[in-house]
Structure 1
């Protein structure tokens, strides 16, 4: 799962579990449920979260990616199945497994306006709780941060003049000195990249990426990094022959 949305609903005699949906398992809602509710009542609550139907949904229990059991007894208490936090409740709409030929079955689709009017949709739930893109203040802050990062990126890239000496600092790698040989975009990638010919064979290529040549240098002397990792200045080549 790529994103977990936490909802504060603390109380005693509750268990905490992540809720995922077979139609969109990229988002998991971390929620608290009372242990004494029945599975039938749980399904009704899951309607709001997943957009599924309590009458047709199938509820499965996972520990990480490992299947544990199916919550199949509607009259059983949730605590019968779950006694600890950190498990995952996965909702599968039962009509998915009926074996219909999707090419022959006429599909029912809601218009944008009809979907907006639904009160039990995932979108409405996110709106009501101001989660993700429906949190205007959070989105403004994210947009402002992206704008500032783009401006700083462009400012640093403007300093990276071809054939200038530079020092490259990338987390997890040694600081390397070299000469700027390329400044621009790379095919198939977003953003600006600075191509550097290092003084030592501490690079990853010869100035080429995926078969396209951006500059020419010996093998393992070339590398492409973010402008934010490049410091332009008077960095003469280090004399490695004098080192023991």
Structure 2
């Protein structure tokens, strides 16, 4: 990163300054979140004797984007993306419920298959919403605080450390809330721990990608944002205007 081209500022001083790529990252973040939960959350797969939730293959990309958003744009803007994702997931759940509940046309043969694919129970929807919201905000909070403590050094330690916490919160909430009583206790524990370990492993593997994207965004925006004086409450979606 060309330090001469990048200005260090506090998040509160950013105000309403236009940002080149923030909207694109928000859109990508929400898209990955929705597709991962719609397609892969409830399917169990086994490869090489290891059992895991199928969504693990793509869901961690959302955490990488969450890291980039927090590192490049600050906690408040990452928090805004989390709330946008939360609202999108809620609408997806409502739309799925309405569409599945609509009576099929006479002769349409695919209602049962449609229900199997899109008819997630409200228990799974609730678990997804709570786990995502808590896990992403924990991830962003830890990353932002570690950036202040390390003065912006050791990005790899901050991204992996925040993922250990954030994905831990996500897994600890989602699998028991969604599947306790439906799966055996052993299945819940095995998939929970395996998915957490695989997500952290994915984050470690994708660290060079995170470095490259963060460096690119900081250079293009000309900013390196630190959350000095940031209000870290999770219960707001607004962005301080300076």
Q: Which has the larger radius of gyration?
A: 1
So what's the TM-score if we normalise by structure 2? Answer: 0.21
- Please identify which structure carries the higher helix content: 2
> Which structure would you say has the larger RCO, counting Cα contacts within 8 Å and 6 or more residues apart?
2
Using structure 1 for the length normalisation, give the TM-score: 0.21
